[in-house]
Amino acid sequence: MKVVRNGEAQRAPRSGIARSAGPAADLPLDTILRGDCVAALSRLPAASVDLVFADPPYNLQLQGELKRPDDSRVDAVDDAWDKFDSFQSYDAFTRAWLLAVRRVLKPTGTLWVIGSYHNIFRVGALLQDLDFWILNDIVWRKTNPMPNFRGRRFTNAHETLIWAARQPEAKGYTFNYEAMKAANEDVQMRSDWLFPICSGQERLKDEAGHKVHPTQKPEALLARVILSASKPGDVVLDPFLGSGTTAAVAKRLGRHFIGVERDAAYADAAQARIDAVEPLPDLALATAPTAREAPRIAFNSLVERGLVTPGTMLTDAKAKMRAMVRADGTLSLETAPGLGQIGSIHRAGALAQGIEACNGWTYWHIATGEGLRPIDSLRAVVRTEMAMAAE
Amino acid sequence: MKVVRNGEAQRAPRSGIARSAGPAADLPLDTILRGDCVAALSRLPAASVDLVFADPPYNLQLQGELKRPDDSRVDAVDDAWDKFDSFQSYDAFTRAWLLAVRRVLKPTGTLWVIGSYHNIFRVGALLQDLDFWILNDIVWRKTNPMPNFRGRRFTNAHETLIWAARQPEAKGYTFNYEAMKAANEDVQMRSDWLFPICSGQERLKDEAGHKVHPTQKPEALLARVILSASKPGDVVLDPFLGSGTTAAVAKRLGRHFIGVERDAAYADAAQARIDAVEPLPDLALATAPTAREAPRIAFNSLVERGLVTPGTMLTDAKAKMRAMVRADGTLSLETAPGLGQIGSIHRAGALAQGIEACNGWTYWHIATGEGLRPIDSLRAVVRTEMAMAAE
DNA sequence: TGCTCAACTGAATCCCGCC
DNA sequence: AGGCGGGATTCAGTTGAGC
């Protein structure tokens, strides 16, 4: 399928603050659009949204009354009405809203969809058919799932989320790797997440004490989605807003939201909920400075600043390989025979090990009063100096 | 789509003894059929198999080569059998073997398929299209998955299994509910299972020490599948036998097996492996208990559960050092100058003291009505929740 | 024999900005 | 827009050599 790509998307700055460039002026930011999501999305400018979270109808095939995905009642429920028709119309519905989402997503934008085994396989296959690019499937493990009452199956204790980029080979999508790792005891965040279901105080209830929405998602789940895949100031869209969890969490986390909801009662409850949310202060939001986003420092600038003197010998951590620092910031390998023994700290490190690539900042060490230290520690000094100078 | 149903299917007895009636006389029991699985299955009698476990190619669609941070190359699954021209051709392949499986399944039979996000959505959607009836999707959580080396996604730490009945409203399929519950410390077995990947002694190696099959599954996984969904004496079919895990476990557990494998080297290795298996005595066929998961709690989960609010200030025991809790569960040191003052509770604690490592749980304290308390004291609440969700 | 440590490994759709 | 090159990136576990 040929996909229309939009050229107007803004590029986020490579370094500096993590907050993205401002959203397009004609976006209905921080509002709930009432009505059908495909129609509402078609009125938004193309390539304007950073992150989409979608919690579509699950197409639960309950015995008895059947409803179409658009919630219209099936006129004549007779025996001829078979499941294939139901899947087909669910697929058509899914395809329609996925295409609408694709149009409003920035090229660097990503999409999350949550579902259960009733619908998630269809959604995932359609995502692939429509040329989205799956980045992960995520399992939400419920601490407190509903038990299986009949004892005829395993307790259905999880739901599945799919995280997908707008297109294959998407570069530049947001993934706050360091924040996720730090949030997970300093090991990489995995694809299986553990959260309680939404209950207690968090669960919206009407005056009669009945739950407002049958499938309200926990805020913790949305918080992890939004924190992992967006930056403060980004635009988060939820085409099936329901009780408004996505919008409430986005607001609290300093993101803009756009919600679409066609049920007036849901939209009213969501609006009231969102209004009561107090955004967190900026300081509690700034994403951890990632190594990738840190200002680039050339090794040569260490030489220029006098932190490293030309002629200094660098070694690897075991002091086996040696290289001399030259005045232009390149290294000269001491022991390598033949040609090509001069290059950047990275090339020299790769040559020293006989491998293709190497991070010279961590490979090469310099002798100090307290023993060998990686030259990366000198770069930290420069970075600190620059940060102080900027204030 | 209209699905061809086989009229010759036998009706299983409505109730009765746990051990199934004997298998059909013309079944090639306990053998490996060499060749293409669709062709092999077409030669089996219809409605003759109780349980199918299928581990089809995943269609991984790997692009280039991947290297670890130490520059070593990841030994990827690049075999020809995993390559498909398009999703369309993968779908055609899948549809063909699913239809072949449907024919040989008894009306009470069930099918398991394992896959990853690369293929499982297509398999699941096709199962539904072909009128199978999904009973559960099961998540195999890996204790020791391969990390994400580039830090651009979540660690892909699970695979998905679909458990489906041959047809909707299937009655009389086997689910050993009590055995599963007993194996799970007397609470219902959930849809998320925790197992290590297959390695060590269990992993088949050739004379040169290379793995025989790139994707050998752990026996523990197959044991749970077979113990949950079949009875002793049942016929278990694996259309993609590979290294023979399904057959080996089936034999050990007192089930008959039929394996199909077209690669001669795989089939030879599987045959040798199966020959070495000693079936368990009848009395020992009771299920083995599963180990409980050691609860590991991230500070972030306290934030996600609302036990600690973003913006809260933590201090050390003497209230000298201060740090602010951020929305993603990381801390921001208040007094450290320059960059790099954001990190996990452990990193922040180490930074605050100028030491290499620190247990943030005991270092950081939170103000309560009864004075400062270590944040470790907040973990008990989460531990209780997690213990209930653990296996 | 027992301990330590280095080396190796696993179904993986794994970078990005600048010229 | 394609190529170049700086430089960022890993967890749990097994095996075997060395002491």
What was the pLDDT predicted at A10?
A: 35
Name the nearest CA neighbour of B361 among B341, B340, B384, B383.
Answer: B383
**How confident is the prediction along chain B (391 residues), in pLDDT tens digits per residue?**
333 333 333 333 333 334 556 787 789 999 999 999 999 999 999 999 999 999 999 999 998 899 999 999 999 999 999 999 999 999 999 999 999 999 999 999 999 999 999 999 999 999 999 999 999 999 999 999 999 999 999 999 999 999 999 999 888 999 999 888 877 877 899 999 999 999 999 999 998 899 999 999 999 999 999 999 999 999 999 999 999 999 999 999 999 999 999 999 999 999 999 999 999 876 555 444 343 444 567 888 888 877 898 889 999 999 999 999 888 888 888 864 544 478 889 888 988 888 877 889 989 999 988 889 889 888 877 776 666 554 4
Amino acid identity, position A108: T
Query: Which residue's CA is nearest to the C1' of nucleotide D11?
Result: B147
Name the nearest CA neighbour of B165 among B135, B203, B122, B129.
Answer: B135
C-alpha span between A357 and A235 (Å, rounded): 37
Any idea which nucleotide's C1' is nearest the CA of B197?
Answer: C10
Q: What letter does residue B73 receive in the DSSP assignment?
A: B
Q: What are phi and psi of B385, to 5 degrees?
A: -60, -45
Q: What letter does residue A129 receive in the DSSP assignment?
A: H
Q: What is the pLDDT of residues A184-210, one digit of tens each?
A: 999 999 999 999 999 999 999 999 999
Instruction: Decide if A30 contacts A51 (C-beta within 8 A).
Output: no
- Number of Cβ atoms within 10 Å of the Cβ of B52: 27
Nearest CA distance, B198 vs chain A (angstrom): 19
Strand partners, A158: A141
Nearest CA distance, A356 vs chain B (angstrom): 8
C-alpha span between B219 and B216 (Å, rounded): 9
Q: Closest chain B residue to A221 measured between Cα atoms?
A: B304
- Chain A positions in Cβ-Cβ contact with residue B389 (cut-off 8 Å): 141-144, 157, 194
What was the pLDDT predicted at A292?
A: 81
Q: What are phi and psi of A39, to 5 degrees?
A: -65, -45
What was the pLDDT predicted at A335?
A: 67
Q: What is the pLDDT of residues B356-385, one digit of tens each?
A: 778 899 899 999 888 898 898 888 777 766
Name the nearest CA neighbour of B111 among B58, B49, B167, B163.
Answer: B163
Nearest CA distance, B17 vs chain A (angstrom): 17
Whether CB of B191 is under 7 Å from strand D: the answer is no
Give the confidence band of A18 by pLDDT, cuts at 50, 70, 90: very low
What was the pLDDT predicted at A8?
A: 32
Residues 345-374 of A with CB under 7 A from strand D: 345-347, 357-362
Q: What is the pLDDT of residues A38-63, one digit of tens each?
A: 999 999 999 999 999 999 998 765 44
- Chain A positions in Cβ-Cβ contact with residue B145 (cut-off 8 Å): 190
Q: What is the pLDDT of residues A331-363, one digit of tens each?
A: 999 865 555 588 999 999 999 988 889 999 999
Vertex A241: Cα angle to A239 and A246 (nearest 5):
105
Collapsing DSSP states into helix, strand and coil, what is residue B102? helix
Q: Which residue is listed with tokens 């009706």?
A: B11
Instruction: Please give the residue that has the higher pLDDT: either B332 or A165.
Output: A165
Q: What is the pTM of this model?
A: 0.86
- Number of Cβ atoms within 10 Å of the Cβ of B309: 12
Distance A358 CA to D8 C1' (A): 10
What was the pLDDT predicted at A169?
A: 84
Strand partners, A237: A52, A258
Distance B204 CA to D15 C1' (A): 15
Any idea which nucleotide's C1' is nearest the CA of A349?
Answer: D7
C-alpha span between B31 and B250 (Å, rounded): 12
What was the pLDDT predicted at A386?
A: 80
What was the pLDDT predicted at B389?
A: 54
Strands A331-333 and A342-343: antiparallel
Name the nearest CA neighbour of B305 among A196, A156, A373.
Answer: A196
What was the pLDDT predicted at A82?
A: 36
Q: Chain C bases under 7 Å from protein CB? A: 8-18
- Number of Cβ atoms within 10 Å of the Cβ of A356: 9
Q: Is the pLDDT of residue A219 over 60?
A: yes
Nearest CA distance, A145 vs chain B (angstrom): 9
Q: Is the pLDDT of residue A25 over 60?
A: yes
* Structure tokens that stand for A267 in this block: 């939209």
Any idea which nucleotide's C1' is nearest the CA of A357?
Answer: D7
Q: What is the pLDDT of residues A97-126, one digit of tens each?
A: 999 999 999 999 999 999 999 999 999 999
Report the side by side order of strands in the sheet with B235-238.
Answer: B31-34, B256-261, B235-238, B49-54, B105-115, B158-165, B133-142, B192-195
Q: Closest chain B residue to A199 measured between Cα atoms?
A: B305
- Chain B positions in Cβ-Cβ contact with residue A175 (cut-off 8 Å): 151-153
Query: H-helix or E-strand containing A271?
Result: helix A264-275
Whether CB of A10 is under 7 Å from strand D: the answer is no
- Number of Cβ atoms within 10 Å of the Cβ of B366: 18
What was the pLDDT predicted at A85?
A: 61
C-alpha span between B50 and B105 (Å, rounded): 6
Q: Is the pLDDT of residue A20 over 80?
A: no
